[in-house]
Amino acid sequence: MARPGAKLLGLGLVVALVTSACGGSGASPSSKQSTTPATMPAGPSCIKPDSGKGCLPTAPTDKRVDLVKPSFSNPTSITNPLHPSNKVSQVIYGGQVDDKPFRTEFTRLPDTKSITWNGQQIDTVTWQYLAYSDGRIQEIALDWFAQADGGAVWYLGEDVADFKDGVIYTHEGTWLAGKDGPGAMIMPATPKAGNVYRTENAPGIVFEEITVKAVDQTVPGPSGPVSGALIVSELHTDGTREDKIFAPGYGELSTGDPTGDLEQASMAVPTDVRQGPPPAELTALHTAVRTAFDRVGRNDWSGAAAANASLRTTWDAYRAGGVPAILDKQMSRDIETLDGAVAARKPSEAHAAVLRVAQNDLDLDLRHQPVVKVDLARLQLWTRQVQVDAAANDAGAVAGDVATLELVRDRVRHTLDQATATRLDAQLRDLRAAADHKDIAAAAKATPALLATLATI
């Protein structure tokens, strides 16, 4: 999937293309009793790298497993264990990209989309990919997947928008099977070492090629070892390769290098859910985070210092009971950054750090609360963030806050009664109008009513 910020998720995926294509490699029937499945064209014989010089070192056609034409009888029933649509409803990723904290919320939506490809009208499931850099919205994408009758999962397009200062500046990387190129195999039915397949295959828009390195591996996961994992090498359009790990219960588990750019699953629902109510230590952490968020948002530096000291103590008490490694690392880092920003009385740095702390805090709730309930809490967080950013007179941040609110709303709206959904939509329209006109005062004025609505859900 084309993703922002770094080579690991393929932001710069626009490539030049030699327009000549080579044909598919079909085979003759071996006997009158059997027929060879229909094949698809292999694609261009030369795909230019980002530099525009030479050709990417793509695999030979006979290594590829994505050239048999798939059929789709029940495409929205995705049972492939290495694709998140199997059972997972949301996966949270963390890490760092370009030396900044990077975060992703990958959520299955209730929507389906019908896409016509290879003469077939295929219903697809929809996943929302919402990525943040340093706590702020960087990209939104809607991804469409379908499972073929043989068990492979196919990627049939994505609608991408990248943000800068809270505003969409490009839709680069958007593509649709049948319109911009063929569908792309995102996960084979039974991958084997040496298999090659293209997870994006619209050269000139997006392109990635996977080579399977190992199957049935046991790897570290957020809640302990995970068996049945797949390790692959992904070819990027700059000619570099990068390892990725896919695992049951997560889909993509990690990508990148711990010493550089890295994105890794920190929580998946229901994979990492714990039985029983939230522990008292987590409830205390929520209170400490809210207090710190409030004090920092008001630039109350003495109050913030006291709140942060309490926050650190509360965090140490909670993490002693066990926390997913990537979340432990992120929260500890963000609290340390917050301490430094508060001590130096730097508003922008403190606001960014406390926002990341609050995001981490809500992620921990996913171990005990339904995704919808946590997303409703995220709506409240981002509404309060509008207030903080409006007080700082930061129109770009307010615009990004509103975009985030709209996207999280899309994840929960189907669970609301019609009257509440209509009221929420109207309030977000008011916020959107204020953000578009850079009317910060109007945006701040609209937040109390929105918070009141959210409090009733």
- Which pLDDT tens digit goes with each residue over 191-208? 999 999 999 999 989 999
pLDDT of residue 101: 87
Please compute the mean of the pLDDT values over residues 105-113 and round it to a whole number.
96
pLDDT of residue 6: 38
Please compute the mean of the pLDDT values over residues 61-89 and round it to a whole number.
95
Is the pLDDT at 263 greater than 50, yes or no?
Answer: yes
Kind of pairing, strands 196-202 and 167-170? unpaired
Average pLDDT, the chain: 91
Query: DSSP string spanning 214-226?
Result: EEEEEEEETTEEE
Residues 418, 422, 425, 431, CA torsion sign:
negative
- Which pLDDT tens digit goes with each residue over 302-326? 999 999 999 999 999 999 999 999 9
CA count, 13 A, side-chain hemisphere, 138: 19
pLDDT of residue 66: 97
Kind of pairing, strands 90-97 and 100-117? antiparallel
Q: Give the tokens for residue 192.
A: 């084997």
Please compute the mean of the pLDDT values over residues 110-119 and round it to a whole number.
96
Structural domain boundaries of the chain? 7-23+41-269, 280-455
Q: Residue 260: how many CB atoms within 10 A of its CB?
A: 15
Query: DSSP string spanning 396-429?
Result: HHHHHHHHHHHHHHHHHGGGS-HHHHHHHHHHHH
Distance of alpha carbon 197 from alpha carbon 209, whole angstroms: 6
Task: Write down the H helix ranges in 155-227.
Answer: none
Answering whether pTM is above 0.85, one says yes
pLDDT of residue 276: 86
Of 104, 106, 74, nearest to 89 by C-alpha is 106
% the chain with pLDDT above 90: 84
pLDDT band at 1 (very low <50, low <70, confident <90, very high): low
Q: Give the tokens for residue 28.
A: 């003759």
pLDDT of residue 260: 63
Find the range with the poorest average confidence among 36-50, 268-282, 303-317, 432-446: 36-50
What pairs with residue 225 in β-bridges? 220
pLDDT of residue 35: 62
- Which pLDDT tens digit goes with each residue over 22-54? 333 344 444 444 566 789 999 888 999 999 999
pLDDT of residue 24: 39
Please compute the mean of the pLDDT values over residues 247-267 and round it to a whole number.
86
Is the pLDDT at 247 greater than 70, yes or no?
Answer: yes
Is the pLDDT at 19 greater than 60, yes or no?
Answer: no
Please compute the mean of the pLDDT values over residues 131-135 and round it to a whole number.
95
% the chain with pLDDT above 70: 91
- Which pLDDT tens digit goes with each residue over 395-426? 999 999 999 999 999 999 999 999 999 999 99
pLDDT band at 15 (very low <50, low <70, confident <90, very high): very low
Is the pLDDT at 79 greater than 70, yes or no?
Answer: yes
- Which pLDDT tens digit goes with each residue over 381-398? 999 999 999 999 999 999
pLDDT of residue 38: 86
What pairs with residue 133 in β-bridges? 102, 136
Please compute the mean of the pLDDT values over residues 326-337 and round it to a whole number.
94
Angle (CA) 159 161 165, round 5°: 170
pLDDT of residue 18: 31
Q: Give the tokens for residue 262.
A: 């890295």
Distance of alpha carbon 205 from alpha carbon 14, whole angstroms: 5
